[in-house]
Amino acid sequence: MNDRRFRLLLAPLLLALAACGAAPKEAPPLEGARIGGPFTLTDENGRRFTDTQLAGKWRIMYFGYTFCPDVCPVDMANITAGLKAFEASDPARAAKVVPVFVTVDPARDTPAVLKQFVGNFHPRTVGLTGEAKTIESVQKAFAIYAARKEGSTPGAYLMDHSRQTYLIDGEGKPIALVPADEGSKPVADTLAKWVS
């Protein structure tokens, strides 16, 4: 059989296979982005915690601080409610997801303070702190901006920080931004779309 005839016979078969197959899966928006990387911090129980302890788990990486007057607690509540909604619809996939709260204010966010804070949210939430230099390097790896803004009295400062929330897969690769600032439903929808 010559090459031309073979291609003529093969073309309808390939079209039929393409028609009954699913459309190719959309590429993750953050695929290939240089976001994240290895880290060693301290968890809310005062124990050493590394990124390798999250191997195989999908992570919702959020950077904030416990003394935040409004934004951080609301975003964390949205993450929790969104994850719980995802658990209700797909418990097996949702069981792979771990919310991770990394402080941008290590001077005040000790393990004990973090433990009390993360205890208000999803039971799998991990709170992480560390030395200032170490936190700064993790912020840099995740493209997080944070700066101290002095208040009118000593110690009454706020932290100005970026608010992006990342969905990281079980291999530590960035997948998508989680719209924690938009409410629980967009969080749940993002998890349902990408967690495998």
Q: Among the listed ranges 15-19, 88-92, 117-121, which one has the minimum average pLDDT value?
A: 15-19
pLDDT tens, 79-98? 999 999 999 999 999 999 99
Residue 72, annotated as binding a ligand: yes
- Residues 6 or more apart from 170 whose CB is under 8 A from it? 55, 56, 57, 58, 96
Of the pLDDT bands very low, low, confident and very high (cuts 50, 70, 90), residue 15 is very low
Place of tokens 């934004």: 71
* Residue 162 burial (CB count, 10 A): 13
Residue 92 confidence (pLDDT): 98
pLDDT(14) > 70: no
Domain boundaries, the chain: 35-187
Residue 68, annotated as binding a ligand: yes
Find the angle CA(54)-CA(180)-CA(160) to the nearest 5 degrees. Answer: 95
The CATH topology of domain 35-187 is Glutaredoxin (3.40.30)
Residue 161, annotated as binding a ligand: yes
* Residue pair 97/83 in contact by the 8 Å Cβ criterion: yes
